[in-house]
Amino acid sequence: MRPMRAALLWASTNPWLANRLPRHAFARRAVTRFMPGETLEHALTAALRLRDQGIPTILTQLGENVADAAAVGAVTDHYSHALDRIGAEGLDCYLSVKPTHLGLDLDYDLCLSSLEQLTGAAAAHRNLVWLDMESSTYTDATIRLFRSLRANYRNAGICLQANMRRTADDLASLLPLAPTVRLVKGAYAEAPAVAFADKGDVDAAYFSHAETLLRSANGATHQVIGFATHDGPLIRRIATAAEALGRRRNSFEVQMLYGIRSREQLQLAREGFRVRVLISYGEYWFPWYMRRLAERPANVWFVARSLVAR
C-alpha cells in the first residue's frame, strides 16, 4: 500500500485525531467538498437538487462503532424520521446504514432488531435499506444480518468489497437469494492475508464479480445491482459486458459519492446509465473523510488549500 494512503487510513482509526481535527475551521471547510452539511435537511436539499438534474440518491448519516444502546435508539429514530421525510418529499432515495452505527459491536440482536425496524418502515414507503460493509472484522456478522433480514424483507441490500479475497465465495453463497448487491472496491486498510493489496488485482476481481452479478440477475422483484465506483473505464467495460449478455446499461445502477466526479455522473446519466449518488451527512465525519482522502491522496491538497483560505 502506498505510504500516504496507509497514513491516511491509519489516521481514520485514530481517536486523538478524531477528537481534535474536526474542531478546526479549515478541516470543516475542506469536508464540504464531499458533504452538503451536517444535518438531514442539508442532505435532503442536496437530494432535491440532484433530483432536478435527473439523479436519484442514497442517504447515509455518518457514524460508526456507537458506545451504548441509547445511541442505537437515537440512530434508529433518526433514520425512521429520514424515511418519513424522504417519503414526504417524494424522493427516489434509499438509505444506507453502517451496522456498527446500529450497535453491531454491542449486541447483534439489538442491531438486527433496529435493522428490521428500519427495513419494515422502508417497505411501507416502498424504499430500500442497504447495509454498508465495514472492515473485515465485521464481514461475517454483516452477511449474517443480511440473511436474517432477507428472511422477512426483500427490500434489504448488502455491500460487497472486491478487495476481499473471500468475496467470490460470499457472492456465490448469496446468489440463490437473488440479492440486492452494491459492489465496491473496498475502503478499509486490510491485511494481505484477507485482501488484495495490488490495485490491479482489486480491479480484476471487481470486473469478475460484476460479470457474475450480471449473469445471475434474473430481474427478481426488488433486486437492484449497484456498481459503486468512480472508475469510468471500469464502468464502461461493465456496460460492454452487460450488452454482450443481452442486458441494457439501465439494468443496473452506477453509484457514486456526492462531490466526486460530479460532471461524469451527469454525463453517464445523459448516456442512459442509471446513476445514483450517495450523500453522506452528519457531525461524525472524521474517519469517513480520512477514507475519502486515502482513496485519492491528491485530495490532501484541497485540505492544504482550505488551511490558507479565508
Min separation Cβ 246 and ligand FAD, Å:
26
Q: How far is CA 184 from CA 92, 103, 259, in A?
A: 21, 23, 17
| Grid cell in block for residue 217 | 440477475
Q: Which residues pair with 97 in a beta bridge?
A: 131
Q: State the burial class of residue 5 (Cβ atoms within 10 Å of its Cβ: 0-12, 13-18, 19+).
A: middle
Min separation Cβ 122 and ligand FAD, Å:
17
∠ CA 66-68-69, nearest 5°, is 110
Quick one: 182 or 218, whose CB is closer to ligand FAD? Answer: 182
- What residues contact residue 187 under an 8 Å CB cut-off, 6+ apart? 161, 291, 294, 295
- What residues contact residue 223 under an 8 Å CB cut-off, 6+ apart? 178, 179, 180, 217
Taking residue 256's Cβ as centre, other Cβ atoms within 10 Å add up to: 23
Min separation Cβ 143 and ligand FAD, Å:
13
Quick one: 88 or 304, whose CB is closer to ligand FAD? Answer: 304
Q: Contact residues for ligand FAD (CB under 6 A)?
A: 132-133, 159, 161, 184-188, 228-231, 255-257, 260, 278, 292, 295-296, 299
For the question of residue 150 being annotated catalytic, the response is: no
Contact, 110 vs 141, CB < 8 A? no
Sign of the Cα pseudo-torsion (301, 183, 42, 46, in order): positive
Q: In this structure, what are the phi and psi dihedrals at residue 286, rounded to the nearest 5 degrees?
A: -60, -55
| HSE-up (13 A, CA, CB side) for residue 144 | 10
Which one is catalytic: 182, 249, 291, 292? 182
Min separation Cβ 56 and ligand FAD, Å:
12
DSSP per residue over 177-217, as a string? Answer: G--EEEEE---S---TTTB--SHHHHHHHHHHHHHHHHHH-
Q: Which residues pair with 58 in a beta bridge?
A: 94, 278
For the question of residue 68 being annotated catalytic, the response is: no
Contact, 222 vs 154, CB < 8 A? yes
Min separation Cβ 17 and ligand FAD, Å:
18
Min separation Cβ 23 and ligand FAD, Å:
23
Contact, 139 vs 181, CB < 8 A? no
Min separation Cβ 233 and ligand FAD, Å:
9
Indicate which residues carry an active-site annotation.
Answer: 132, 182
